[in-house]
């Protein structure tokens, strides 16, 4: 295993220390492993909290800041944060208007966020569970579809709405609307390697690829021979379009890298995805290309398509200033 680490057991703590050093505008609670804004929102503004296992960077800590999250809670690699961590983060970011919990649909995440909301006392909490992966209906880690790329888009859109001062009920309703308006599907050329394990999560021969892989290395729909970028794009986009029509409204499309795929290939893939969507009559109003929700050092990519109305596009275009997403400031 070749990794830039000191000791496998110290990766999370030392990564958070480096994150704090690189982003002095944010704060890190190293005991509870919470990244939060250095300058809180005004009193009476809804706060946004997300989190999950590490290894998916920049998700979630990289999206803490103006226009997105108020805080992110970090679990161990591919492991949910605990209810105590989530409760502490909820109390820390609440300004009196309540907190929205943004949860990816994995059993541990859903259970621990639910427990934190139930035990959190008098703070009003709304919860949205993101379940956008069309590859499988159920997996080892989920009841229902896995939560993937829509999470990033939701955090941006709903984060902008919170900055406008919308109340918790409206924020919760918007979040659930966004969560149900998008679909994603991913693929892998290689497996990621957990530092504590020291070997790839799964074996993938040089001549094969996994279609529909999960962000923790969960198996997808099928393993197939290597194919061209054009064919891979079809394998990702066609199941999304078969699951939901996107021809009636403009869309936001994210071409996301899994951690080890260079941008030259991601942009090439975006071109192939756009060609397929053009032929299907799907209009791309906004796009995002890069590493936004990764699986350690996995090579591969995912496609996310989100239906967007005028309000959604205006919220997408609103200013944002986070370590991993920044414009309009």
Q: Of residues 23, 60, 101, 216, which has the active-site annotation?
A: 216
Q: Are the beta carbons of 194 and 77 closer than 8 angstroms?
A: yes
Task: Tell me the CA end-to-end span of the chain in Å, nearest whole number.
Answer: 41
Place of tokens 């998916």: 56
What is the rounded CA–CA span in Å between residue 141 and residue 220? Answer: 13
Q: Answer yes or no: CATH 3.40.50.10440 is held by domain 9-181.
A: yes
* Mean pLDDT of all residues belonging to the chain: 96
* Peptide bond before residue 58 is cis, with ω within 30 degrees of 0: yes
Residue 216 among the catalytic residues: yes
The residue extents of the domains of the chain are 9-181, 182-307
What are 64's strand-pairing partners?
Answer: 69
Burial 33-59 (b: 16+ CB within 10 A, else e): bbbbbeebbeeebbbbbbbbbbbbbbb
Name the residue among 142, 123, 125 with its Cα closest to residue 133. Answer: 142
What is the rounded CA–CA span in Å between residue 89 and residue 69? Answer: 12
Please give the radius of gyration of the chain, using alpha carbons only, rounded to the nearest integer.
Answer: 19
Q: Of residues 56, 60, 101, 177, which has the active-site annotation?
A: 56
Q: What is the mean pLDDT of each run of 10 residues along the chain (329 residues)?
A: 93 98 98 97 97 98 98 97 98 98 97 94 96 84 87 98 98 98 98 90 93 91 96 98 96 98 98 98 98 98 98 98 96
Return the C-alpha torsion angle 320, 113, 181, 155, nearest 10. 0
SS3 annotation, the chain:
CCCCCCCHHHHHHHHHHHHHHHCCCEEEECCCCEEEECCCCCCCCCEEEEEEEECCCCCCHHHECECCECEEEEEEECCCCCHHHHHHHHHHHCCCCCEEEEEECCHHHHHHHHHHHHHCCCCCEEEEEECCECCCCCECCECCCCCCCHHHHHHHHHHHHHHCCCCHHHHHHHHHHHHHCEEEEEEECCCCECCCCCCECCCCCCCEEEECCCCCCCCCCEEEECCCHHHHHHHHHHHHHHHCCCCCCCEEEEEEECECCCHHHHHHHHHHHHHHHHHCCCCEEEEEEECCCCCCCECEEEEEEEECCHHHHHHHHCCEECCCCEECC
Per-residue model confidence as pLDDT tens digits over 50-65: 999 999 999 999 999 9
Q: Which two tokens stand for residue 104?
A: 């990816």
Per-residue model confidence as pLDDT tens digits over 210-232: 999 999 988 889 999 999 999 99
Q: Please identify, in words, the CATH class of the domain defined by 182-307.
A: alpha beta
Q: Which two tokens stand for residue 320?
A: 């944002």
The answer, as to whether pTM is greater than 0.95, is yes
CA distances from 296 to 206, 239, 257 (A): 19, 25, 11
What is the rounded CA–CA span in Å between residue 7 and residue 252? Answer: 40
Which pLDDT does position 142 carry in this prediction?
Answer: 67
Which pLDDT does position 140 carry in this prediction?
Answer: 62
Name the residue among 321, 313, 35 with its Cα closest to residue 153. Answer: 313
Q: Examine domains 9-181 and 182-307 and report if their fold is the same.
A: no
Residue 56 among the catalytic residues: yes
Which pLDDT does position 141 carry in this prediction?
Answer: 63
Per-residue model confidence as pLDDT tens digits over 37-49: 999 999 999 999 9
φ and ψ of 296, to 5 deg: 55, -120
Q: Are the beta carbons of 26 and 214 closer than 8 angstroms?
A: no
């Amino acid at each position: 295993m070749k990794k830039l680490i000191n000791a496998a057991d110290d990766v999370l703590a030392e990564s958070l220390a480096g994150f704090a050093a690189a982003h002095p505008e944010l704060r890190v609670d190293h005991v509870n492993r919470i990244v939060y804004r250095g300058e809180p929102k005004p009193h009476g503004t809804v706060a946004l909290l997300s989190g999950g296992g590490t290894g998916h960077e920049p998700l979630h800590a990289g999206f803490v800041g103006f226009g997105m999250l108020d805080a992110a809670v970090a679990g161990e690699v591919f492991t949910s944060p605990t209810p105590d961590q989530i409760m502490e983060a909820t109390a820390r970011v609440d300004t009196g208007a309540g907190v929205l919990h943004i949860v990816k649909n994995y059993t541990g995440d859903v259970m621990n966020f639910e427990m934190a909301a139930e035990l959190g006392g008098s703070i009003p909490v709304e919860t949205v569970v993101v379940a956008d992966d069309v590859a499988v209906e159920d997996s080892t880690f989920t009841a229902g579809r896995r939560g993937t790329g829509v999470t990033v888009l939701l955090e941006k859109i709903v984060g902008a709405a919170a900055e406008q001062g919308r109340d918790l009920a409206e924020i919760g309703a918007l979040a659930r609307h966004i969560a149900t308006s998008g679909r994603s599907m991913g693929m892998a050329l290689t497996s990621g390697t957990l530092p504590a394990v020291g070997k790839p999560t799964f074996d993938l021969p040089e001549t094969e690829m996994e279609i529909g892989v999960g962000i923790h290395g969960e198996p997808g729909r099928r393993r197939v021979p290597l194919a061209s970028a054009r064919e891979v794009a079809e394998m990702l986009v066609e199941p999304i379009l078969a699951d939901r029509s996107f021809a009636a409204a403009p869309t936001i499309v994210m071409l996301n890298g899994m951690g080890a795929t260079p941008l030259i290939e991601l942009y090439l893939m975006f071109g192939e995805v756009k060609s397929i969507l053009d032929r299907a009559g799907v209009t791309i109003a906004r796009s995002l290309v890069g590493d936004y929700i990764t699986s350690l050092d996995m090579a591969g990519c995912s496609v996310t398509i989100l239906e967007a109305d005028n309000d959604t596009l205006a919220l997408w275009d609103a200013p944002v200033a986070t370590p991993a997403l920044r414009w309009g400031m």
